[in-house]
Structure 1
Amino acid sequence: MKIHFVLGACTLTLGACTQDVRPLPYTPTPLPAVATQEATLSTTVVSPISHPNPLAGYTYRGPTGPRDWRTVNQEQSEGN
């Protein structure tokens, strides 16, 4: 943990000590005119993807009420 703290402190110290090498009356480089650039149009035909319904085949299995656990175990056993 101490090494992380020391490395972080060194990074901040070195970053604060760096000098700006640009001349003082700095004018930033203008961005290109993106609005004048036209996007290339793709001529490929893409068919729509049909996804299956994730709820297809769902049947509601609501609680039927409390039952005797011995009877339920006998119904679900491998012997039946």
Structure 2
Amino acid sequence: MYISQVTNMKFHPFVGASALALGACAYEPAPLPNVTAQHAVTNTAVSSPIKYQDPLAGYTYRGPTGPRDWRSVNQEQSEGN
């Protein structure tokens, strides 16, 4: 039983190497036809021009108003108010 396992383990790399060798010797497939020229003629998609949109449109500056007591700020933001 042990001898067949060792023989089987030596057999796997040989099978893998032979598959790679046969794949390298395979014939070169025929090149695909150039169909980009055909698509350009039949493509009827219309694209609209892209308009610039300012990413900062609608921005309002909210600068710091100064240090305040944290207790009063928490009281203003509590659910009771």
Q: For this structure pair, what is the TM-score category when the shorter chain's length is used for normalisation?
A: 0.3 to 0.5
Q: Report the TM-score, using the length of structure 2 for normalisation.
A: 0.44
Q: Report the TM-score, using the length of structure 1 for normalisation.
A: 0.44
